[in-house]
Amino acid sequence: MKILSSVFTGILALVTGTLAAQKPLSTRLDSLLATKDPREFNGVVLITQGNKTLYAKSHGYANRETKQALSIDDPFIIMSVTKQMTAVLVLQEVEKGHIQLQQTLHACLPDIKDRWADSITIHQLLNHTSGVRWFDEPLAFPPGTQYAYSNFGYSLLKSVLEHATGKAYTELAEALFRKCGMKHSGITGHIHAVQGYHETSSGSLEACTDTIPDWHYAGAGVVSTARDLVRWNELLYGGKLLKDSSYQLMTHAWQHRQHTVYGTMGTGYGIVLSDDKQEMGHTGYMPEPGFTLINFYYPATRTSLVVMENVGYKETDIPRAYAFERSIREILLPSVIKQQ
């Protein structure tokens, strides 16, 4: 009887799981966002496919003190998703002949005195293989031999762009957004974003006062909306922003990284991607200013997945911080990944 009971339990679980998977996407996502385990969701979710919106919902507060509800069109600081924009700006200057990918940093920025400026290249800064850590510090490894995520590397790219163009990064980014028709995007400090919150040691949520410093604008300083990010995806992956040769460099898996939530992903220029290029995008997370998000694109079905939260949970528990982003992605994946 115990064997029969186990078999029945297994069959019931299989049937239950199958029936759950057959529920409409909106029903499954609504149910997920209503849960409070392992925490509450406070943000927006936008899923589009081509010109069709599959799901668009906001949940929680833009300002917890005034109880102002979030809107799907609210602007968020997008953290490291900014690196996509910076990579495109660099590659556009490469196409103009103003920057060369294999140039050393010293060739682009002759005023830098650190010896490592003679050994690391623009290519290595873009794909996080430079080994650079900070001014006056030795490299973590010989350039090009390993992968190590470097926000400072993108700060150096900001200086490279400004030196090559004679324009401030803020001006370059805002011009790019105008060209893209991203009317609600800009640089933090120059455009409004919703209030961010971080989790205190007691587990409560507290309004953040930290801001993104200007040296970090190229790595984490863009403010945007879910709809603007969808617009960005359509243009970038639709071949409207870069020549094909540049796009192929940007979307090549130069190295691989192990993400605590998403597993092994290839690393391109400002993006992470699956080896078959069926999933491309980036995550963003910084608890101090109080934002967590993902922006992924699935070329086979022209699907964008944007999840933006104005809460940054404890850095000691990344899986919990990305709990909803991970679950939403897992619900969506079977319908947007082309079966081999």
51-90 per-position pLDDT tens digit:
999 999 999 999 999 999 999 999 999 999 999 999 999 9
Q: Tens of pLDDT along 330-339?
A: 999 999 987 5
What's the gap between Cα 8 and its chain centre?
Answer: 43
Give pLDDT, residue 77. Answer: 98
Please tell me whether the peptide bond between 334 and the residue prior to it is cis, using omega within 30 degrees of 0.
no
Distance from the first to the final alpha carbon of the chain: 41
Window from 4-13, 38-47, 181-190, 306-315 with minimum mean pLDDT: 4-13
Residues near 275 by beta carbon (within 8 Å), at least 6 away in sequence: 253, 266
Render pLDDT for 162-186 as a digit per residue (tens, 0 to 9).
Answer: 999 999 999 999 999 999 999 999 9
Q: Name the band, by pLDDT with cuts 50, 70 and 90, for residue 2.
A: very low
Flag whether the pTM goes above 0.85. Answer: yes
C-alpha distances out from residue 80 to 54, 65, 205, 289, 338, Å = 25, 27, 22, 13, 27
Contacts of 285 (CB under 8 A, 6+ apart): 79, 80, 291, 292, 293, 312, 318, 321, 322
- For residue 70 the two structure tokens come to 């979030």
Listed residue (15, 69, 57) closest to 32, CA to CA: 57
Q: What is the structure's pLDDT at 165?
A: 98
Question: Is the model's pLDDT at 259 over the cut of 90?
Answer: no
Of 13-17, 94-98, 261-265, least confident by mean pLDDT is 13-17
- Residue 17 has a pLDDT of 44
pLDDT one-digit tens code per residue, 121-149: 999 999 999 999 999 999 999 999 999 99
Mean pLDDT within 108-121: 96
CATH of 38-79+168-336, one of 3.30.1280.10, 3.40.710.10, 3.20.20.60, 3.10.100.10: 3.40.710.10
Dihedral sign of CA atoms 83, 193, 185, 263 in order = positive
pLDDT at residue 21, rounded to an integer: 53
Q: Is the pLDDT of residue 22 over 80?
A: no
Tokens of 31: 């149910």
Backbone angles phi and psi of 285, in degrees to 5: -160, 125
Contact between 158 and 86 under an 8 Å Cβ cutoff? The reply is yes
The enclosing H or E element of 125 equals: helix 122-126
> Hey, which residues does 305 pair with through a beta bridge?
47, 296
